[in-house]
Amino acid sequence: MLNRKQKITFCRIIAVLIIFSVLLVLQHTGVITRYAILYYLPPYLLIGYDIIIKAARNITKGSVFDENFLMVIATAGAFVIGEYSEAVAVMLFYQIGELFQGYAVGRSRASIAQMMEIAPEYANVLKDGAITRMDPDDVAIGDTIVVLAGEKIPLDGTVIEGSSHLDTAPLTGESVPRSASAGDKVISGCLNLEGALTIVVEKEYEDSTVARILDLVENAGDKKARTENFITRFAKVYTPVVTAGALLLAFVAPLIFGGGLYGWIRRACVFLIVSCPCALVISVPLGFFGGIGAASRKGIMIKGSSYLEQMTKVTSMVFDKTGTLTKGTFAVSGVYPSAEGGYTEVELLGLAAKLESMSGHPIAVSICTAAGGSSDTDGISDYTEIAGKGITLTLEGKTYGAGNAALLKENGIPVPEEEYYGTTVYIADLDNKTELGAIVISDTVKPEAGSALQALKQNGVKKLILLSGDRKAAAEAVGNELNMDEIYSDLLPGDKVSTLEKLLDEVPQKEYLAYVGDGINDAPVLMRADVGIAMGSLGSDAAIEAADIVLMDDQLTKLTDLFRISRKTMRIVHENIVFSIGVKVLVLILGALGAASMWGAVFADVGVCVIAVLNSMRALKM
């Protein structure tokens, strides 16, 4: 859809096109023979008055050399040498090109502006049994809100009552609705499709997911790519140079090469029309804007075109482990009875669940869950938690322990030599100083991680590197399963930064390194990497703030989409640069030699610009 200003321009174009066509017919049939300027000046002013005003305004501000100035000087020169129809045609087709560019830019902005629709307008706050509609900014942490079917979730929180399905497409690009019920965490910006949900607010609006996304969208244009900055600098130098060239053609060339002043002024006008850098100045930023818009529809938020450009040169990718390559949720991955204990796997797991039934520790909860959710505490006495070691208790007259190797050593029980991947909980009979077996708790690798990393290799990534704070065995288990090229373990946050800096020194010149993480401890590394990529849905606020790119649904497969979009965007941008400069240089040379007409100049300016803009719009279709 066109805005009001564009609609007025469209009406002016139609009116002038009709008048111009009639004037051409009258001129070629001999009806208009004298004072043609009086017939062509009104349609010229009607179609070009805003360009003339812009040029005059910019001159008063000291910004002389822009496309408005070039168009006014060129068409005024055409009037001076009697090329009235050409002057009107140049301004007419320039306005057609401008209208088309405005529409294309509007389409591109609309693809990102759709993200702005996720902003909630209100929150239904439940207090004393009554619902009050409030601005999301005024809702505090701990407040209870009710989200009805068809409403947007205004703030991040946890569902305490109700069940429904949520449309997360505006945030993640995922078309399949996600279920939500009591105990599930939900994020703002999602659309509630079915029943009412009662939610306890866990973040203020300014810290919520939707606020962070809107901030990313609004500031996406701040970080310009090197190519985009080059085009801006190029246009500032290029425009005055070609203006000087036109003046030399008009007034110096006749003195050197001879010939009539009329012919040289005509060449100078052609030269000025061709020289307008509109195709570059419009199509290059539009290409980047289209790429960022395409990525946002896939649930990938890019904070600036510079990062889109850098992604095309990423050849090394470094990953955090927990929450990035793994699910970040712990579960029982192995039950290993000892020969001395005489328990089966089922019996050992049942005993462990009984021992852990009084603890609320995540490890204890995972053991109880694996055993069927046992919470039976009958027969337990003398329950003691030992910080950093485990628990001891008496069960039906026998003393048991459940904990790590330090607990076994403290009670004089030999520690088994077997080393397992994950957190090992040893079960021991403390009365008989016997180790009964081990329960291993581990984080599981994301199901898509293997195929996602393999796809990165196919997309030109030479090195896949794992940085983890976990023990060597745990890090190597995940790294080897995913065929990582290098594995670094037992790293503190500071160690991660120093390790990453060493890896950066190893990256060849003109290539980049990207880091993918989600935790608070990843924030310094995300900032230090050439490109920092954060997991947005489960990632910490610090990681998302520090990152350059955010994957809103934590799917590693989105990394392949990111590579594809960035490379296609840069291919489109480079095509526009080569095509625009190539055609302009050719027609500039022809114009200087007197072999190009005004109509050729119109094509080299407006035609090339329209073609480049059309090419840029392909980025929106990715």
- 192-201, 487-496, 552-561: which has the minimum mean pLDDT? 487-496
**CA dist 224 → 220, 227, 233 (Å):** 9, 8, 12
> Stretch 302-306: mean pLDDT, rounded?
81
Residue 464 clears pLDDT 90, i.e. is over it: yes
- 5-14, 224-233, 483-492, 611-620: which has the minimum mean pLDDT? 224-233
> Stretch 95-106: mean pLDDT, rounded?
71
- Separation CA 41–CA 229 (nearest Å): 39
- Separation CA 209–CA 204 (nearest Å): 10
Q: What is the pLDDT of residue 324?
A: 85
More confident position, 221 or 6? 6
Instruction: Give the number of other CB atoms < 10 A from CB of residue 511.
Output: 12
- Which tokens in the block code for residue 69? 């100035």
3.40.50.920, 3.30.450.40, 1.10.3720.10, 2.70.150.10: which CATH number matches 119-218?
2.70.150.10
- Which tokens in the block code for residue 275? 């020289």
**CA dist 282 → 89, 238, 274, 305, 580 (Å):** 22, 15, 15, 15, 11
Q: What is the pLDDT of residue 221?
A: 47
DSSP state of 315: E
In this prediction, residue 125 has a pLDDT band, given cuts at 50, 70 and 90, of very high
In this prediction, residue 376 has a pLDDT band, given cuts at 50, 70 and 90, of low
In this prediction, residue 609 has a pLDDT band, given cuts at 50, 70 and 90, of confident
Domain definitions of the chain by residue range: 4-113+222-289+567-621, 119-218, 305-325+446-547, 328-444
Q: What is the pLDDT of residue 158?
A: 93
Q: How far is CA 165 from the centre of its chain?
A: 25
> Stretch 151-161: mean pLDDT, rounded?
90
- Which tokens in the block code for residue 491? 């790293």
CATH topology of domain 328-444: Calcium-transporting ATPase, cytoplasmic domain N (3.40.1110)
Residue 348 burial class via C-beta count within 10 angstroms: exposed 0-12, middle 13-18, buried 19 and up? buried
> Stretch 34-61: mean pLDDT, rounded?
88
> Stretch 429-452: mean pLDDT, rounded?
89
- What share of the chain has pLDDT > 90, as a percent? 23
Residue 402 clears pLDDT 60, i.e. is over it: yes
DSSP string, 525-540: HHHHSSEEEEETTTS-
425 touches 390 (CB < 8 A)? yes
Residue 94 clears pLDDT 90, i.e. is over it: no
Residue 452 clears pLDDT 90, i.e. is over it: yes
Q: What is the pLDDT of residue 228?
A: 55
Q: What is the pLDDT of residue 220?
A: 46
DSSP state of 83: -
More confident position, 57 or 269? 57
Kindly report, residue by residue over 519-537, the tens digit of the pLDDT: 666 778 888 899 999 886 5
Does domain 305-325+446-547 bear CATH number 3.40.440.10?
Answer: no
Q: What is the pLDDT of residue 321?
A: 85
**Alpha carbons within 13 A on the beta-carbon side of 435:** 26
Residue 397 burial class via C-beta count within 10 angstroms: exposed 0-12, middle 13-18, buried 19 and up? exposed
What 3-state DSSP class applies to 433? Answer: coil
Beta strands 512-517; 531-535: pairing state? parallel
- Average pLDDT of the chain to the nearest whole number: 81
Most confident range, picked from 62-66, 157-161, 279-283? 157-161
* Residues designated catalytic: 320
Beta strands 486-488; 463-467: pairing state? parallel
Q: How far is CA 171 from the centre of its chain?
A: 11
Residue 401 clears pLDDT 80, i.e. is over it: yes
DSSP string, 7-21: HHHHHHHHHHHHHHH
> Stretch 115-125: mean pLDDT, rounded?
73
Q: What's at 410, amino acid-wise?
A: E
Most confident range, picked from 2-6, 337-341, 434-438, 577-581? 434-438
Dihedral, 307, 308, 314, 319 alpha carbons, nearest 10? 70
Residue 219 clears pLDDT 60, i.e. is over it: no
Residue 550 clears pLDDT 90, i.e. is over it: no
Beta-carbon contacts of residue 477 (< 8 Å; ≥ 6 apart): 421
Kindly report, residue by residue over 338-374, the tens digit of the pLDDT: 988 889 999 999 899 888 888 777 778 888 888 886 5
Residue 173 clears pLDDT 70, i.e. is over it: no
Residue 279 clears pLDDT 50, i.e. is over it: yes
> Stretch 21-50: mean pLDDT, rounded?
88
> Terminal CA-to-CA distance of the chain, rounded, Å?
21
pTM listed for this prediction: 0.65
